[in-house]
A and B are shown apart, each in its own frame.
Chain A
Amino acid sequence: MLHTVNKSPFDTHDLHNCARFVDAGDVLLLLEDGVYAAQAGTVQSHLVADMISRCAVYALQADLAARGISDLIPGVALADYDKFVDLVEQHKVQAWL
């Protein structure tokens, strides 16, 4: 299962709610305002840090660049648009809108 989260963890509980249902072998893709969860050292960083031990975590590169985020939580992988398409092809998608 590919889980996508596109909201800031400071603004909604979408990532928090998603985390409950992520299974071993699942993939989390952070995009749009969801990429704020990938930044290291914030009061919400623990959400992604905890998930990395259970599943692969990607953040969409274009959205990171647009928001000036470069200080990522260790273990977060970068995804370009081609990788985004690959992930969608390879998994069923659950969008936590």
Chain B
Amino acid sequence: MANDAFKLMITVRKAPHGSIYVQEAIEVMFIMASFDMDLSIVFLDDGVYALKQGQNTKELGIKGFSASLAALADWDVKNVYVDGDSLTQRNITPEQLVSVGEDEETGQPLHPRVLTTDELRVLMHQQDSILSS
């Protein structure tokens, strides 16, 4: 990818299942991934709940989106970040998060990268555009 590729960040800040926001954000991720741009996904605030392992939506009669998240890497969405402070506040450890695909070369599961507030702030300022959900 060219260094001057458009830098787009998608932020996910809402909890899953209670509203349509996270589902919509994932749709947008897949659409944007089909363009040649430098895409970053950031889960923060209640959005970190979307990444929690062991979500079973069967009784709610909805499909859930764990399969979509697990396929992000297949769609070349590789810059997936999560806010460490949001995890700490919610008593969630990085080990409790789902993988977002497999590394093409090693076949190892790819996990969202935990960033500090300072790192996220820098990343946000580097973007050409930020889409919120």
Task: Give residues in A with beta carbon < 8 Å to B.
Answer: 6-8, 10-11, 32-33, 36, 39-45, 61-63, 65-68, 70-71
CA distance A65 to B53 in the complex (A): 11
CA distance A22 to B46 in the complex (A): 26
| B55-A66 in contact (CB<8A) | yes
Q: Which of A7, A39, A65 contacts B91 (CB 8 A)?
A: A39
Closest 5 CB pairs of A and B: A33-B18, A62-B59, A41-B91, A68-B54, A68-B55
| B46-A61 in contact (CB<8A) | no
A-B contact pairs, 22 of them (CB 8 A): A7-B18, A8-B18, A10-B45, A10-B46, A10-B90, A32-B18, A33-B19, A33-B46, A39-B90, A39-B91, A40-B91, A41-B91, A42-B91, A43-B90, A61-B59, A62-B60, A63-B60, A66-B17, A66-B60, A66-B62, A67-B16, A68-B52
| B91-A11 in contact (CB<8A) | no
A-side interface mostly: loop
Interface string of B14-57 (1 = CB under 8 A from A): 11111100000000000000000000000001100100111111
CA distance A39 to B54 in the complex (A): 14
| A8-B15 in contact (CB<8A) | yes
| A33-B15 in contact (CB<8A) | yes
Task: Give residues in B with beta carbon < 8 Å to A.
Answer: 14-19, 45-46, 49, 52-60, 62, 64, 89-91
Q: Which of B46, B55, B57, B59 contacts A36 (CB 8 A)?
A: B46
- Enumerate chain A residues within 8 angstroms of B64, measured Cβ to Cβ: 66
CA distance A71 to B58 in the complex (A): 20
CA distance A10 to B19 in the complex (A): 15
Name the residue of chain A whose CB is nearest to the CB of B14: A11
Given A8-B15, A66-B56, output 10 extra A-B contacts at Cβ < 8 Å: A10-B46, A10-B90, A36-B46, A41-B91, A44-B89, A65-B56, A65-B57, A65-B58, A67-B49, A68-B56
Q: A33-B17, A66-B64, A68-B53 are in contact. Are A11 and B59 (CB under 8 A)?
A: no
